[in-house]
């Protein structure tokens, strides 16, 4: 009888020991969801995931925008197009094709005339509103609350006070102005060798896990098109996730503000 009780006691101790060991292991073993964050829209974002925004300014153009669209569709990625209203009115069918492919269409300006746009705050918003009206008329959708200022939000073309007033009024109106931290370099001349454009993007993206790439889809930017497919392949191979401002999460917006990519001061 005494032997039986001892055996029972030993069995109980073993069970308790095993249970304690299981609890300790569970505390220090990552679960399937550890290493991931859940953003406010319910999407899963891995901690080590890289984010990239492909952005195109100054279009649409008759010759290059649809070529860019075809490449994006081929690679099953989306881009953000900051359009010029006067060009949009020339090529409405191009913009409709962008919309049909669920690309992000945002205002850049109507005239893209720096002297007119940056004459004063009133002139800037007159131009922006005109661009937004053109977008709404052709796409059937109200323009979103983003804009890319011609030359960027810290350009040296406009008067510093005027530019500061424009930025402040945009923010007070709930409009985010978007800059970039990767420049393809396709604006330094009418055409830049595609290999140089690709190299510029790769060199800058290699040091980043959150990239907003500036490119252009205007009439002369044929080499931008030539470099795009290889650029996308590089980004995919290096684990970048492609995003647009249509599906920007609250967390991503906060990150962009921290990186001075949105509402730079």
Q: Are residues 176 and 242 in the same domain?
A: yes
Q: Are residues 50 and 20 in the same domain?
A: no
Do 22 and 97 share a structural domain? Answer: no
In CATH, what number is assigned to the domain containing residue 118? 3.20.20.370
Taking residues 133-152, report their average pLDDT.
Answer: 96
Q: How many CB atoms lie within 10 A of CB 233?
A: 12
Interval 94-136: pLDDT, tens: 999 999 999 999 999 999 999 999 999 999 999 999 999 999 9
Neighbours of 103 (CB within 10 A): 22
- Residues 25 and 88 both lie in one domain: no
Name residues whose C-beta falls within 8 Å of residue 76's C-beta, 6 or more positions apart in sequence: none
Residue 263 located in a structural domain: no
The number of domains in the chain is 2
Domain interval for residue 101: 37-258
- Mean pLDDT of the 33-51 span: 48
Are 141 and 179 in a shared domain? yes
Confidence of residue 184 (pLDDT cuts 50, 70, 90): very high
Structure tokens given for 183: 């420049």
Lowest mean pLDDT among 35-44, 119-128, 139-148, 184-193: 35-44
* pTM, two decimal places: 0.82
Count of residues in the chain: 265
Query: How far is 62 from 135, CA to CA, in rounded Å?
Result: 17
Q: Which long-range contacts (CB under 8 A, 24 or more apart) does 223-226 make?
A: 223/186, 223/191, 223/192, 223/193, 223/194, 223/197, 224/64, 224/68, 224/184, 224/186, 224/194, 224/197, 225/64, 225/67, 225/68, 225/71, 226/194
In this model, does residue 68 exceed pLDDT 80?
yes
* pLDDT attached to residue 265: 86
Q: Which helix (H) or strand (E) holds 186?
A: none
Q: Which residues contact 31 (CB under 8 A, 6 or more apart)?
A: none
Residue 3 has pLDDT above 90, yes or no: no
pLDDT digits (tens, 9 = 90+) for 219-234: 999 999 999 999 999 9
Is 264 part of a structural domain of the chain? no
Q: What is the pLDDT of residue 22?
A: 47
Which H or E element spans position 156?
none
């Amino acid at each position: 009888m005494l032997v039986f009780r001892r055996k029972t006691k030993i069995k109980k101790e073993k069970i308790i020991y095993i249970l304690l060991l299981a609890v300790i292991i569970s505390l220090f073993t990552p679960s399937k969801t550890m290493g991931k964050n859940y953003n406010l829209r319910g999407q899963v974002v891995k901690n080590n995931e890289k984010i990239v925004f492909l952005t195109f300014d100054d279009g649409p153009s008759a010759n290059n925008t649809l070529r860019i669209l075809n490449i994006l569709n081929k690679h099953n990625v989306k881009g953000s197009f900051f359009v010029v209203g006067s060009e949009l009115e020339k090529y409405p069918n191009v913009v409709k094709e962008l919309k049909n492919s669920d690309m992000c269409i945002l205002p850049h300006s109507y005239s893209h005339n720096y002297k007119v746009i940056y004459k004063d705050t009133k002139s800037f918003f007159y131009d922006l509103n005109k661009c937004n009206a053109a977008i709404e008329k052709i796409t059937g959708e109200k323009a979103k609350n983003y804009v890319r200022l011609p030359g960027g939000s810290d350009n040296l073309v406009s008067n510093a006070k005027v530019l500061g007033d424009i930025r402040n009024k945009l923010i007070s109106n709930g409009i985010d102005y978007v800059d970039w931290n990767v420049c393809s370099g396709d604006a330094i001349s009418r055409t830049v060798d595609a290999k140089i454009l690709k190299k510029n993007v790769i060199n800058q993206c290699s040091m980043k896990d959150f990239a907003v790439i500036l490119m252009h889809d205007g009439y002369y930017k044929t080499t931008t098109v030539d470099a795009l497919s290889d650029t996308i392949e590089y980004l995919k191979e290096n684990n970048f996730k492609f995003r647009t401002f249509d599906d920007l999460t609250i967390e991503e917006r906060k990150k962009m503000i921290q990186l001075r990519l949105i509402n730079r001061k």
